[in-house]
Structure 1
């Protein structure tokens, strides 16, 4: 059904005086025209309802897009923060590894000294009484060296524990980063 001619006819009827309309139209034509006008009004209401529904749907989609964009920004911030933490942890790991590397020669000498003491312990007084002076010197040397060796061993253990903890933190942070990146990609899709 074409609305153009109907609307034109309705417009002409609206501007025509009531007496002219009734005189020039037959009763069947008037009823048919009224039905067309009523049908046009119903169709107009339907179209307005469809338009309102489409506008509501567009508003909902826009709101969802805004929410998705906010979530993407949050995931991007998480990824960025995780990458920053990971870089910091890697830097700390590199510092401790460099410190341990620098002390490698010292540790090698320390281990060599401990090995020599283990292979050639100081003489006992009961076995060789004539070498009492050497025994006293060895005891004094051991008395001075052992606390220092214990301190070095404790420091080395602490640094190795720090290194192990950093490596665990790095693995955890990599996992966190991977999760954040997966979430980000899913949200972008």
Structure 2
């Protein structure tokens, strides 16, 4: 996982500091970058699904407790495990949409040209991923500050929906594929 962070960080720096050159509308480089970003978000969905799956419904739920508390690797559990997992997932989301933001910035600085459809789809995907990051970050803060019952999984499911929405926009771009020069 750390290797992915390092790769994405270096890739973001590369995008922001090196001129990619004037390209035809949405060059193959853009599509390759988006394909890599899409793969990362597949992994994040799996991590989020794994986190949600750790919540096992109780046999005898009470009004304040519907689920067994998820346990950590060391056997401990509860609020701290939920906070750490939520914080970790929010940081994964943040690190993964940075290269997409780099593509947007390169387009704005005329270092990479994107067609209108790709520009709009990237903006929509960024909006969805930012929303997912914000939901998870705020959830982790509310859980940490004991302002939210950590058994309320609404934000986890909303984050999952936002990631799927953003991935759909990336898939829309990938379905058009690199355009050939005439």
Greater share of strand: 2
User: Computing the radius of gyration over CA atoms, which structure comes out larger, 1 or 2?
Assistant: 1
Greater share of helix: 1
Normalising to structure 1: TM-score of the pair? 0.31
